[in-house]
Amino acid sequence: MAQTLDTSAHFYTETLPCGLRIVCAPSATDVAYCGIAVNAGTRDELPDENGLAHFCEHLTFKGTHRRRAWHILNRMETVGGDLNAYTGKEETIYYTAFLKEHFARAADLLVDITLGSTYPQAEMNKEVEVVIDEIESYNDSPAELIFDDFENLVFRGHPLGRNILGEAGRLREFCSMDVQRFATRLYRPDNMVFFVFGRIPPATVRREVDKALKRVALSLPESSETRQALNLQRHTVTPLNDATIGRTAVPEYHPQEIVMHKDTHQSHVMIGARAYSARDPRHLGLYLLNNILGGPGMNSRLNLSLRERNGLVYTVESCMTSYTDTGIWSIYFGCDPHDVSRCRRLVAKELRRLADTPLDAKALEAAKRQIKGQIGISHDSFENVALAMGKRFLHYNHTQDIDTLYRKIDALTAADLHAVAQDLFREDRLTTLIYS
């Protein structure tokens, strides 16, 4: 098994004989966070499985070979902890927060639900209505729904464009066997990362995870593929260094403009384009540009232009997501229908400013100072730090401390940002979606 300790950032990593990777980092409090990140998201669904990754997440809490649903939900709550999960386009993450003395309880529960779930049909019949209610809540919120529709345009015909929640009709057709097949294919030890952020010694992490794996293996049928994987006694395991293996390549991008007629008071507009993967060094330049353009700061260029100077919108923002092999960048705003054209002209003006003229030294320094401050404040949320660590290690097999990120931001030049703006902000590259 491989063990490493990054003494500069205090990250400890290890790969167990069954292929499960472990990553640990210390925190400053007695509250600990740990979880299991599974390399299974919406893009890993087969053509007839839309919505199954998210549905599987819900059902993972509904019973294992050792526990019923109530025992799962109650396990961390009785010691004041919290148990949660989310599904993304490329991963599903199960995690818990607790006082550090309850780590053994947390590790045992997480391993049990991710590797030992039974996905009972009776629970599926109830939970499907819960998920459908979740879908309908999005359908009632055009400001959220438009993001899904926009991503479907940018990745048309590809699993990355699918709605994570799926469709009600298809969800009602799934049975326990469908979920079992999905989990057998993707919920494997060598397709997971166990992550810990807390004052828990790595030796304790290893010991308790080992115990949890043995318990779940004993609970599974002898014919189970997962049991066979857990019983492997290999001395070395090659971790999944490339999370894109086996995934469908993204199709060629074709910009377009679509107007959808919705019965809404406001018009909702999204403008954006296919962007860079997290492996592309240009994605950090886009990260900084995106913050300048429409980040959370009230001083973002789009907020100043559309809201503060002209009073045309309540909300305007830009956002980006970098996947393992591609990315997406977009601007969103909602406005009165008769103001759509004017808002679009103002957005185009700000994009041209960044594409036509590089930032001067003063503006670049101010932008770096602002985003580093935002990053520093976000790191005050230990839960966010833990989840980011687990996700990064899952997809890229390495970690990144905040000081390394700061150094990379400091190294960005005005020319770097200008090249990104010229590449992505061209009018002929933009896709536009309007709810009118």
What is the residue-level pLDDT of the chain in tens, covering all 436 positions?
Answer: 555 544 335 799 999 999 999 999 999 999 999 999 999 999 999 999 999 999 999 999 999 999 999 999 999 999 999 999 999 999 999 999 999 999 999 999 999 999 999 999 999 999 999 999 999 998 889 999 999 999 999 999 999 999 999 999 999 999 999 999 999 999 999 999 999 999 999 999 999 999 999 999 999 988 888 888 887 654 444 444 455 556 889 999 999 999 999 988 999 999 999 999 999 999 999 999 999 999 999 999 999 999 999 999 999 999 999 999 999 999 999 999 999 999 999 999 999 999 999 999 999 999 999 999 999 999 999 999 999 999 999 999 999 999 999 999 999 999 999 999 999 999 999 999 999 9
What per-residue string of b and e applies to 194-219 under the rule 16 or more CB within 10 Å gives b? bbbbbebebeebbebbbebbeebbeb
pTM for the model stands at: 0.93
**Paired tokens of 229:** 């994987």
What's the CATH number of domain 257-435, 3.60.15.10, 3.30.830.10, 1.10.150.120, 3.90.25.10? Answer: 3.30.830.10
DSSP state letter for 306 = I
Q: Per DSSP, which regions of 263-347 are E strands?
A: 267-275, 316-322, 327-335
Could you give the 3-state DSSP secondary structure of residue 404? helix
Closest CA to 158 of 269, 1, 44: 44
Residues of the chain with CATH 3.30.830.10: 2-230, 257-435
User: Rounded to an integer, what distance in angstroms lies between the CA atom of residue 392 and that of residue 389?
Assistant: 5
User: Rounded to an integer, what distance in angstroms lies between the CA atom of residue 177 and that of residue 119?
Assistant: 8
Cα 166 to Cα 53, 135, 157: the distances in Å are 9, 8, 15
What's the CATH number of domain 2-230, 3.40.50.10860, 3.30.70.2500, 3.30.230.10, 3.30.830.10? Answer: 3.30.830.10
* Phi, psi angles (nearest 5°) of residue 128: -60, -35
User: Rounded to an integer, what distance in angstroms lies between the CA atom of residue 349 and that of residue 355?
Assistant: 10
CB-CB contact of 61 with 85 (8 Å)? yes
pLDDT at 4: 52
Closest CA to 143 of 435, 338, 341: 435
User: Rounded to an integer, what distance in angstroms lies between the CA atom of residue 80 and that of residue 207?
Assistant: 23
Tally the C-alpha atoms within 13 A of residue 377's C-alpha that lie toward its C-beta.
7
Could you give the 3-state DSSP secondary structure of residue 145? helix
Could you give the 3-state DSSP secondary structure of residue 384? helix
Within 10 Å of residue 404's Cβ, how many Cβ atoms? 12
pLDDT at 280: 98
Q: Are strands 21-25 and 31-38 parallel, antiparallel or unpaired?
A: unpaired
Could you give the 3-state DSSP secondary structure of residue 367? helix
**Paired tokens of 19:** 């292929």
pLDDT at 227: 86
CB-CB contact of 179 with 135 (8 Å)? no
Q: Per DSSP, which regions of 250-397 are E strands?
A: 257-260, 267-275, 316-322, 327-335
Could you give the 3-state DSSP secondary structure of residue 321? strand
User: Rounded to an integer, what distance in angstroms lies between the CA atom of residue 193 and that of residue 187?
Assistant: 11
User: Rounded to an integer, what distance in angstroms lies between the CA atom of residue 436 and that of residue 434?
Assistant: 6
